[in-house]
Structure 1
Amino acid sequence: MADGKPESEAERLTRNLHELLQELRVAQTGVQLLFAFLLTLAFTNRFATLGLADRVVYVATLVAASLAAGLLIAPVSYHRMVFRRHLRPRLVLAAHRMAAGGLGFLVAAVVGAVYLVVDVVFSLRVAAPIAAGIAAWFVLFWYVVPLVARGERRTDRSDRP
């Protein structure tokens, strides 16, 4: 139900698709900015001073950002490919899965980028706990809190917001 009014299955799918596409617009911008930042790092003078471990983290972070961008943009291509083929249920499910995967790779990319910057600015001893804390923060607010809310919603069937 949208705004307390009954909606048909087609209306629900349309609403779900529109909500998902709006969410993807936000995530796409962030991942594209991060990806662009990562692409430029390899061409800076300071990059040449990085050790092997930091270069491995850099490549893993760049790959994670690339995969995140691909998955977060993929629903647009999927929509274009199935447009007017009466596949909206599949589209919504596929786009949901792509978005979830893209957000997972985005977490990895953000954590990797934070690790690299803090390691260059300070040291590995500072970078590792900060990156771990950032990872925990993302997991908590992007996954744990929503999953707890889902569990509470299952046990509390009232119409309270």
Structure 2
Amino acid sequence: MTQAAQILALARARGLRIATAESCTGGLIAGALTEVAGSSDVFDRGFVTYSNAAKTEMLGVQAQTLTDFGAVSEEVAREMAQGALLRAGVGLAVSVTGIAGPGGSEFKPEGRVCFGLARAGQEPITETVEFGAIGRAQVRQATVGHALVLLERALRQV
């Protein structure tokens, strides 16, 4: 059983629906989950919010948060996850925002990805992972893998 299939089975067993809020992965997490036949009873929707305007309009990320911390920040990842949770009306949401590359800066290097995880009735959690300058496709795939780990871990704690 794939990791995505395990996540869906765990969510199904717990009666939880899932949403994703993605920036740097452009929908790849949602794609991994919906690759599994029968995922529609657990996976509700994916928000692909590549631009700051999309993050604000679709997920309710505060413009001030984007100004103060930048799109690649745990603060924005938190608001993305919480926005997906509330706007989709699901029990669990994961968010990602990062710099897949090429490029980056001294302060926000290529390969930095911020993750958010929101569960109904709990405070969202966030973390940052530095994948390094391993290439755009590899950063995106590593981000999908880590987001799936976060979802599985959260579901095992329910």
Asked if Structure 1 and Structure 2 have the same fold, meaning a TM-score greater than 0.5 normalized by the shorter chain, the answer is: no
TM-score range, shorter chain: under 0.3
TM-score, with normalisation over the residues of structure 2? 0.25
Higher alpha-carbon Rg: 1
The structure carrying a bigger strand percent of its residues is 2
